[in-house]
Amino acid sequence: MATLTTGADAAVASAPVTGGMPAASTPRRRGSADGWWPALFVLPLFAGVALFYLWPLVQSLYYSFTEWGVFGGTTWIGIDNYTRLLQDPSVLRSILNTVIYTLILLLGIPIATIFASLLNRPGLRFATVYRICFFLPYVAMPTAISMVWKIIYNQDYGVINSALRVFGIEGPAWIATEWFALIAVSVLGLWMSIGFNMIILSAGLKGIPAELYEASALDGASQSRQFFAVTVPLLTPSIFFLSVMTLISGFQLFDLLYALLGPTNPVMPKTQSLVFMFYDAAFLTNEKGYASAIAMVVLVIIAVCTVMQFKLQRRWVHYVD
């Protein structure tokens, strides 16, 4: 009587027998080509980073040691551009302006923390509408927003000075006075950043276990006590991320300054940021070597501050296991 043999039975039957048992099949060793496939898929990303980030960085570093001619061409001058930076009083003032702007921008993190906590309360009606209203300034064009805020800051018919006149106070020319102009730009940047900060912090609030609030409530903790003992410590990873991003964006101040004040504003030399100083040297006075040195200074400052933030975050950032 014939028997039916399956493919698996045939494979077992044909396998060499050692000691009455089929020999275990040896796993196929990975060829050298298998290791290239992941690298092949990542290669476009590395190519883009090398082409648009690393190569311009190397070029800028080289150009910072050169001087550009009027009709092109470079001449190697060593560290003369950096020596000029140390002797230029406007550099120190630009660094001070950038630091002040960044510090005011950092105030948006605690403000956004309070608003995000309020908008994440259970049962709050129209919470989505509120989030959209807060986030709209972040996605709007800085030039369009600056045009609106120019009207708000106007000395004669602006909203701020009109409100001050009600109390008998004559407001200053906000964007035409030395220190007031920097504060005006900083307040605008602070207002625009709150929406983005709230989105990040709202996501962090979603990750806090509700059991922690229930346990603290059973212990008799009030809502304010829960905010400082539970919410803020567990939001520190999101706060740390925002502090890094805010510092980087603060030291890259240019668009708001350019759109709100303009390059012909008489207070611009005393209000300019480091990046605006780079723009002025590179595109207005055609000193691209000196501009490259300024760009390197901005890079070093941001890198040092970021490394310090990562070093210090071990002391105050708490991660939920």
Q: Tens of pLDDT along 270-319?
A: 999 999 999 999 999 889 999 999 999 999 999 999 999 999 998 899 88
| Whether residue 34 has pLDDT greater than 70 | no
| pTM score over 0.85 | no
Is 113's pLDDT higher than 80?
yes
Closest CA to 275 of 98, 64, 61: 98
Better-scored residue on pLDDT, 24 or 195:
195
Which CATH code fits 89-316? 1.10.3720.10
Q: How confident is residue 26, by pLDDT bands cut at 50, 70 and 90? A: low
